[in-house]
Structure 1
Amino acid sequence: MLACTLPKAGWTHEAHLSTCAWLILERPDIVPERDLPGLIRRYNESVGGVNSDTAGYHETITQVMIRAVRAALARSEGRDLAERVNALLLADEGRRDWPLRFYSRERLFSVEARRRWIDPDLLNLPPPVLCE
């Protein structure tokens, strides 16, 4: 993903989460909350995608899922990278629909949520967790 050589078909939900986990655990020079937006946009464009009001990068989902990844990783400290990523993918936070516990579908998939962070309208998100 960072090198923009991953085939578009490989940029799945699971690849998003695995990439985020790897960045958190192995790349202290990259701050996902700050850097992932640009990295994802660049990747999308490199495979012929667009970042628009209806496709491509989505700010709110990205930030919510970074928080989800951090929470799941915090519970698996002490394990190796592969074990931690596998645990993340099996955790509630790894589910595609996890953000919909906190956001109505209309709010989460709005143009506003795609463009910028918006707060949830159903439940408060769990507090951010630091992990190593």
Structure 2
Amino acid sequence: MTEYPVRHFLSDDAVAHVGEGLLARTLPREEWTHEAHLAATTYLVLKHAEIDLDVELPGIISRYNESVGGKNTDTEGYHDTITRAYLRGIRLFLEEVDTSRPIHELVNELLMSPMGRRDWPLRFWSKDRLMSVDARRGWVEPDLAAMP
């Protein structure tokens, strides 16, 4: 897998910008990076307990994608298994750290952890299974290893 430099967040406001921009569908499309996905989800877990992310996150991301001209199809846009895998990883990460720290520090630490890597789901799923239409459209159980 190609290595990309990790883009860190410099402030809590930068994380809030991504999280609130996702919710309001105002985040510019070019800012919706891998790091932004993880920052926004971490922000939502910590700052929006009223949102049932297990139920609502798929719609939040799908509507955002459409609002910036994207599509949610069998080959692009929202990917359910990857989203749910990272949501689980973020929750596991947050169970192990002091969440009273500034949120941008938590996000940056997450991004440098195994759970923050772009290829983290490939520890549990073969690429073919993870990139399948079934995995994009709904949760597909891992075929290489059980998730923590």
**TM-score, reference length from structure 2:** 0.83
Q: Which 4+ runs in 1 deviate beyond 6 A?
A: none
CA distance in 2, matches of 1:83, 1:35: 26
Instruction: Specify the alignment match of 2:28 in structure 1.
Output: 7
**TM-score, reference length from structure 1:** 0.92
Instruction: Specify the alignment match of 1:130 in structure 2.
Output: none
Tell me the secondary structure at the aligned position of residue 141 of structure 2: coil
Instruction: Specify the alignment match of 1:105 in structure 2.
Output: 127
Instruction: Specify the alignment match of 1:18 in structure 2.
Output: 39
CA distance in 2, matches of 1:67, 1:111: 21
CA distance in 2, matches of 1:9, 1:83: 23
Aligned pairs (5 A) from 1:1-132:
1-77=22-98, 78-126=100-148
Shift of 1:106: 0.1
Residues 72 and 87 of structure 1 are in contact (CA less than 8 Å); yes or no, is this contact kept in structure 2? no
Percent of aligned positions with the same letter in both sequences? Answer: 53
Residues 58 and 113 of structure 1 are in contact (CA less than 8 Å); yes or no, is this contact kept in structure 2? yes
**One-letter amino acid of the counterpart of residue 35, structure 1:** E
Superposed CA RMSD in Å reads: 0.8
Structure 1 gaps, min length 5? 127-132
CA distance in 1, matches of 2:42, 2:23: 13
Shift of 1:73: 1.5
Residues 102 and 121 of structure 1 are in contact (CA less than 8 Å); yes or no, is this contact kept in structure 2? yes
Instruction: Specify the alignment match of 2:10 in structure 1.
Output: none
Instruction: Specify the alignment match of 1:129 in structure 2.
Output: none
The count of aligned residue pairs is 126
CA distance in 1, matches of 2:75, 2:112: 29
Tell me the secondary structure at the aligned position of residue 2 of structure 1: helix
CA distance in 1, matches of 2:64, 2:95: 27
Tell me the secondary structure at the aligned position of residue 23 of structure 2: coil
